[in-house]
Chains A and B, each alone.
Chain A
Amino acid sequence: MSSDNEGTTSSSESEGADSVKGNATLEFIENLSDVPMGRLPSNIEFQRTRVDCKADAPIHTDTFQYSGAYSSMRVENSFLDNFCDNFRVEVIRLTEDEMEFDMIGIDPALANAFRRILISEVPTMAIEKVLIANNTSVIQDEVLAQRLGLIPIKADPRLFEYAENNTASEKNTIVFKLDVRCERSGQRLSVKSKELVWLPNGSEFPLESQDSKTGLSSKPKTYTSFTCSQDSLPEFSGNPISPALGDILIARLGPGQEIELEAHAVKGIGKTHSKWSPVSPVWYRMLPEIVLLEDIEDQLAEKLVAVCPVKVFDIEDIGKGKKRATVARPRACTLCRECIREGKGWENAISLRRKKDHFIFNIESSGVFPPEVLVTEAVKILEDKCDRVISDLS
């Protein structure tokens, strides 16, 4: 390894020399047998592709985006060439609202872009306005409104527009009604999100100023101006809108208390308020890679297996009653560093690494979208962003 190192330094030095003599030296060095040309020396390659998690701190955590970062070694560091060939996505686990998938052959910056978009830029519907007609519960109006806002609404935001000029129409607003009361003789009552009733015809509360003047003419003006009922639209006819989960606690009512309100949900993004974020968390981790640099045998091997809380290591028989530790489940590694905690010897024998181009993504959807739809939505948003950059540049 040390010889590689010398090779790289000398080659980079001679690269800078501009004279003819320098070029001759360079040529000489390039023709040496142990100078790897066209590919990076192994230690540089290691730094480029792996995070080395030492006991005290991780090193080589950064990546080099610049295409000419390794040009001194005649290595092209551009991202696109490899990306098209090597990029792949493997779905590991997919349930109704959770998903684990591997994103392989991508830069951390791009993987992070997906994560960031999922958190803050995929639009959803969330309750933004709450019209409270009556609230005699112990929970304050504004706190109640905040709680309502955080309830995920199962409605496809792609079918709605952003409510910009403050006119609530069937295209940008979903109206829910909550009308619950606890009987005076009854037990305390828990108000759950399933009590929110979708009003496809819009608000039922008349505007105060309108009630006397218009009086008998057609229908009284309300806080929304829907031209048609939402359930008459083909998108919603067989698919009524409701909160994503029915058992979210909104409030508790004591005997004689009641809540009567209307909640207006609009489209928005998580950047404005986290209630519009479609994920409860989304995160990734780099693929763990564990390499045993030295053979760990017999008692030490057993100790190593016992010490790991997530059972990363296993024991294999190598004959003659001897045992050797192997890495069985590197993916399970949580990087507790328990295996390299006891002294330098262990740290030298075991190398805990993370692959910088392999991301294990976890998406937990809040219930608004299935997680796989979220990913495609995020991709579309990233695409739009790229388009915008290109069009702005040209």
Chain B
Amino acid sequence: YRYSAPIKVDVEYIQGSHDQKTRVEKKGVVIGRMPIMLRSCSCTLYGKTESELAKLGECPLDPGGYFIIKGNEKVLLMQEQLSKNRIIIDMDKKGNLNASVTSSSERIKSKTIIQMENQKIYLMLNQFVKKIPIMVVMKAMGMESDQEVVQMVGRDPRYAALLMPSIEDCAKEGIHKQEQALAYLETKVFCVVPLFCYCLGVEGLEVLSGEELHTPYSFLVLFNGNILGKHRKPQHFAAAMRKLRRAGKIGEFVSVFVNEKQHCVYIASDGGRVCRPLVIADKGISRVKEHHMLELKAGVRTFDDFLSDGLIEYLDVNEENNSLIALYEEEATTETTHIEIEPLTLLGVIAGLIPYPHHNQSPRNTYQCAMGKQAMGNIAYNQLHRMDSLLYLLVYPQRPLLTTKTIELVGYDKLGAGQNATVAVMSYSGYDIEDAIVMNKASLDRGFGRCIHMKRYCAVNQKYDNNTQDRILRPNRDGFDSGPMRVLDDDGLAAPGEIIRRNDILINKQVPIVTRGQFKSALNDSEFKSVPQRYDGPQGESCVVDKVALCSDKHNNLCFKFLIRHTRRPEVGDKFSSRHGQKGVCGTIVQQEDFPFSERGICPDLIMNPHGFPSRMTVGKMIELLGGKSGVSCGRFHYGSAFGEPGGHADKVEAISETLVRMGFSYDGKDFIYSGITGCPLQAYIFMGPIYYQKLKHMVLDKMHARGSGPRVSLTRQPTEGKARNGGLRVGEMERDCLIAYGASMLLYERLMISSDPFEVQVFTACASLINLPSRYFPLHVNKPFYDVIPTLPSQKPNIPTLTKLFSHWWTVRILSVFI
């Protein structure tokens, strides 16, 4: 269940009383288990070749990097946090200026805020109950005279003016001496941070006076938020530091940032900064030369060599502000300090799948990033050997005709999640409004959008405290329940390959009636009750038992896992999407002969309404269509990497159009189309070509739900909610309005009064109170008259006509509790 390694410790301890002390040593004591990251250097799969991985039943395309805990794949997630040990200046809700810093060391974590309120400066620290005037703090630190404080801050008269209200405030409190201030604070302060090398000419704080700290021609040097000292030539210093970094003398992730505005040099080596690798350029000339690339191709040079040779370096967000980064080598000027390795690396794995993303409106790319994860496809080469709790697979996944470099790098071309559909952008039948798509029935017959839905069901052979346990019986081949037991093998478990329908029995299990108390040895048949587990799949569909696995759980009970497979062809309402955030449901399915066809006999797989384009502005999708069309006709996969045109990683529209014309198509991708219904040509040229379409995991079969009558919540007597509980559908306010407007008063009455939460109860005639007894106590249960009343207080008698003597003791009353 868990992929982990033991944590072994050598323990040494002293045993015995003070007379006979013995030193005991224990080696290799297991104190726990640590999960192992897959494909890490501690993992067995580390450094294995493709064939070795295949032999182990592992997918070579699996990048690893996750953990297996309790049978689930777990990933470490990134979290955004405010930087530690950095001064952050902002405005709070009241408009007060705040300078705050979160100090963090190995041991303690604290937040210090300096707030300016009504021109007075205060210090807030969570050790103090309330705000402390800043001057008190200064005095407590030993700067007793106000002049000293002002000098520390700066000689500029503006600073003194700023401090005046605070000084006055302090004087009002009557605090002049350090002791008074400390007494005011009642707490103590401070510790110091380790230092860095001063070799590069940083003058330490000890040798500087408060006055010198503020000289305008030297820069403050800060390391991870702590002041190291001052330097007169910040650019010199920064250049020297960077040289050291490029030479590998200091870590590659150390950033050096000169802030001219704040007269500071920030050096950072702490974690949590996002760093990007960039090619170093000297006066706009890239350090990476032709021969370096040849060496890389030959396999002599690796990425790390580029790093250690000072050709490439990592920059963090701050240092990027000190650099001028050219997107392409041709665009570099003499000022350029860095060149992007490749612009498409700006995007990650999911956004990298979008062709021509730089031609799309940016929200569309964002939508696609959310939607690409819902697409069905292949998940790994070993997908059929896995027992996932829910798995969606495509029967015939394809490689996109319009690829990107990212697709090749991440192996999406080997494990596709979609199909290249020939799309005609035109209106058809009116079943294509609101992004719905019209699909070709013949394409569906041939396997377009066909998917496999696999779900895991579990059963446990439980052991109980009284030494009894569940048992699994041979199925009855004839007689009671032989129908639903059809799928069972002789061992009482569903057999792989059997067709299974709703309410068929997965496992013929029996549970002992008494599971507590005294120990029991052997049980009779009569001491068991039958609790077969039934399959609760979709009604009317036939699924297949794909696999059955036996294992033991953590309490050492025998566990059964059934993988039920259901192959589905697309139906009206299933959701599809292209790679440009353009989702839509299947609106209707049309026979092939009714579909339009081109002069070459090409009949589209689906028709998309052109209204999807103007407001979405997904030009990338149009280029994908053109590129795909040119790709199929000339037999070469086309590329559409992000910002790839100048670098040759994306085909240009001009080149695509040229290919199209060479192949006898129109340069704009529009074809002369004949209507399949009338046989006449259409009065427009139709934009038609292949687009990679994804089937998303939202399918109507899983969502479709309706009920007549069904379960109710016992508390309110109202219908339950949700598909899983066979719930009712609410006739809400607007539905009610419709019924009123239509005048369907009887239907309205029935929906709101009868079908909601009425119940019958007996009422004593004498006091009109409800009788809480089961109905069998009332002999005239059958043929009893009903009276619809509104519940009233017990003291008031319901206004009901007098009844015959027979009914004189109680009335049966139907209570309706819905009011509009």
Chain A residues in contact with chain B, CB under 8 A? 51, 53, 56-59, 61-63, 108-113, 115-116, 119-120, 132, 135, 138, 140-143, 146, 150, 270-271, 273-275, 277, 281-286, 309-310, 334-338, 341, 354, 356, 362, 364
Contact = CB atoms under 8 A, between A and B. Distances in A.
Contacts of B677: 112
A56 B668 CA distance: 11
Contacts of A132: 497
B665 A334 contact: yes
B667 A336 contact: yes
A58 B683 contact: yes
B678 A109 contact: yes
B681 A286 contact: yes
Contacts of B684: 57-58
Contacts of B664: 309-310, 334, 336
A145 B395 CA distance: 13
Contacts of B662: 309
A335 B679 CA distance: 18
Contacts of B441: 274
Given A116-B676, A146-B447, A274-B442, A334 B599 contact: yes
A335 B686 CA distance: 12
B678 A57 contact: no
Contacts of B600: 283, 334
Contact of B682 (A61, A112, A113, A120): A61
A366 B672 CA distance: 26
B593 interface: yes
A57 B384 contact: no
B678 A108 contact: yes
B680 interface: yes
A143 B599 contact: no
A143 B663 contact: no
A271 B497 CA distance: 30
Contacts of B447: 146
Contacts of A146: 447, 450
B446 interface: yes
Given A142-B567, A281-B603, A334-B665, A63 B680 contact: yes
8 contacts: A140-B452, A143-B395, A146-B447, A274-B445, A284-B674, A309-B663, A336-B661, A337-B666
A109 B591 CA distance: 17
B565 interface: yes
Contacts of A334: 599-600, 664-665
Contacts of A143: 395, 450, 452, 567
Nearest to B442: A274
Contacts of A310: 664
Given A108-B678, A309-B661, A336-B666, A274 B683 contact: no
A132 B395 CA distance: 19
Nearest to A110: B679
Given A132-B497, A140-B565, A282-B601, A338 B445 contact: no
Q: How large is the interface on B (under 10, 10 to 19, 20 to 34, 35 or more residues)?
A: 35 or more
- Listed residue (B384, B597, B661, B674) with the most chain A CB atoms within 10 angstroms of its CB: B674
Given A140-B544, A282-B601, A120 B593 contact: yes
B427 interface: no
B603 A115 contact: no
B679 A275 contact: no
Contact of B601 (A63, A142, A150, A362): A362
Contacts of A271: 591
Nearest to B542: A142
A206 to B, nearest CB: 17
Given A119-B592, A120-B591, A274-B592, A58 B667 contact: no
A61 B599 contact: no
Interface in B581-637: 591-593, 597-603
Contacts of B603: 281, 283
Contacts of B685: 56-58, 337
B593 A338 contact: no
A120 B395 CA distance: 25
A21 B718 CA distance: 82
B contact face: mostly helix, strand, loop, or mixed? loop
A116 B677 CA distance: 9
A310 B592 CA distance: 29
Nearest to B444: A274
A57 to B, nearest CB: 5
A359 to B, nearest CB: 9
Contacts of A362: 601
Nearest to A114: B679
A111 B450 CA distance: 33
A48 to B, nearest CB: 13
Nearest to A133: B497
Contacts of A61: 680-683
B680 A108 contact: yes
Contacts of B671: 335
Contacts of A284: 674
A135 B592 contact: no
A110 B679 CA distance: 8
B679 A108 contact: yes
A150 B446 contact: yes
Nearest to A150: B446
A310 B600 CA distance: 14
Contact of B666 (A57, A109, A285, A335): A335
B654 to A, nearest CB: 14
Closest 7 CB pairs of A and B: A112-B679, A283-B601, A274-B442, A108-B679, A334-B664, A274-B445, A116-B593
A138 B384 contact: yes
Contacts of B661: 309, 336, 338
Given A112-B679, A116-B593, 13 more contacts: A57-B684, A58-B672, A58-B681, A120-B591, A132-B497, A140-B452, A271-B591, A274-B446, A277-B592, A283-B603, A283-B674, A310-B664, A334-B600
Interface string B256-276: 000000000000000000000
Interface string B645-681: 0000000000000001111111100011010111111
A61 B395 CA distance: 41
A132 B567 CA distance: 16
A275 B442 CA distance: 8
Contacts of B597: 281, 283
Interface string B553-583: 0000000000001010000000000000000
Contacts of A59: 683
B327 to A, nearest CB: 33
Nearest to A354: B681
Given A274-B441, A275-B445, A112 B676 contact: yes
B191 to A, nearest CB: 65
Nearest to A51: B681
Contacts of A285: 599, 674
B62 to A, nearest CB: 18
B411 to A, nearest CB: 19
Contacts of A270: 442, 592
A119 B452 CA distance: 29
B679 A109 contact: yes
B678 A335 contact: no
Contacts of A57: 683-685
Contacts of B601: 281-283, 362, 364
A252 B597 CA distance: 34
Nearest to A107: B679
Given A309-B663, A335-B666, A336-B667, A142 B544 contact: yes
A61 B673 CA distance: 11
Contacts of B567: 140, 142-143
Contact of B599 (A335, A337, A341): A335
Nearest to B681: A61
Interface in B433-461: 441-442, 445-447, 450, 452
A135 B681 contact: no
A134 B744 CA distance: 58
A270 B672 CA distance: 26
Contacts of B683: 57-59, 61
Contact of A277 (B442, B666, B679, B682): B442
